[in-house]
Amino acid sequence: MTHLTALQLEQALQLLGQSGRAPPQGEPGSPAWLQGLIDTLVDLSSRDALTGLANRRAFEMALTREIDRVARSGEPALLLELDVDHFKRVNDTWGHNAGDQVLKAVAGALIDSVRPMDLVARVGGEEFSIILPNCAASFGETVAERVRRRIERMPVLIAPGAEITVTISIGGAFAPQWVRSTPTLWVERADLQLYRAKAQGRNLVQIEPTAVSVVSSEERQMLFETSQFQDHE
């Protein structure tokens, strides 16, 4: 084992310790142990350090896979964009440690409110996203409302003897079925609904109805190019 390799292993183990992860089981330095270390580091690189949710990198990769799946299969998929309302006020009033407690509590509530197959990610400071594959339009608002109510009714312990409640605003959009779209366009449509929820007073859900979902000019061009390619196969 070279000095450089030993140094890299030491840094990797320090990283695991800082994240609260235990080293892999087995004989240190063995192939099985090294593979376990690599697998743990890969998982760690896709997780948000504070909440344990998927991070932005993992979210963007999953979003790309999901929009490709919807284009091929035609199955519905819902993207929810969520913001903790007035989060700056929490930090300014109670301090950043209290803000961290709020984010961790919200993350846990989101995980408990959706299916194991759904991906929950922290994509910004107080911003979260949820990808819900195979989610029918008739259930979209029901799911989002369940999430919103769960947060609204949840007391958050921010210090011994001190609890607060927070709310979230939620915007959602369904991926265009049978259309070759892009992750950016899907996120923009969900974000537009999130802005609507905020503008109407926060602690609200706004879901883009699939019946009036508009395919953008960029999406139409992508669909046209895909059709041309298939015609010449």
- Domain ranges within the chain, ordered by starting residue: 3-45, 56-228
Contact of 114 with 169, CB cutoff 8 Å: no
Of 159, 137, 156, 142, the residue nearest 211 (C-alpha):
137
How many residues comprise the chain? 233
Report residue 111 as tokens. Answer: 């995980």
Residue whose structure tokens are 């997780």: 47
Q: How many CB atoms lie within 10 A of CB 69?
A: 15
Radius of gyration of the chain (CA): 21
pLDDT, residue 81, reads: 98
pLDDT, residue 22, reads: 73
At residue 230, the 3 state secondary structure works out as helix
pLDDT band at 180 (very low <50, low <70, confident <90, very high): confident
| Distance, CA of 88 to chain centre | 21
CATH architecture of 56-228: 2-Layer Sandwich (3.30)
At residue 130, the 3 state secondary structure works out as strand
pLDDT band at 188 (very low <50, low <70, confident <90, very high): very high
Share of residues in the chain with pLDDT > 90 (%)? 59
Report residue 108 as tokens. Answer: 């846990």
Contact of 83 with 191, CB cutoff 8 Å: no
CA distance 68 to 179: 9
pLDDT, residue 107, reads: 97
DSSP string across 165-210: E--EEEEEEEPPTTS---HHHHHHHHHHHHHHHHHTTSS-EEE--G
Helices vs strands, H then E, count in the chain? 8, 7
Arithmetic mean of pLDDT, 82-88: 97
pLDDT band at 9 (very low <50, low <70, confident <90, very high): confident
Of residues 48 and 233, which shows the higher confidence score?
48
At residue 153, the 3 state secondary structure works out as coil
Contact of 184 with 67, CB cutoff 8 Å: no
Annotated active-site residue 126? The verdict is yes
| Distance, CA of 136 to chain centre | 19
Q: What is the pTM of this model?
A: 0.78
- Taking 90 as the threshold, does the pLDDT of residue 137 lie above it? no
Give me the catalytic one of 10, 75, 81, 126: 126
Residue whose structure tokens are 């300014």: 92
- Taking 80 as the threshold, does the pLDDT of residue 79 lie above it? yes
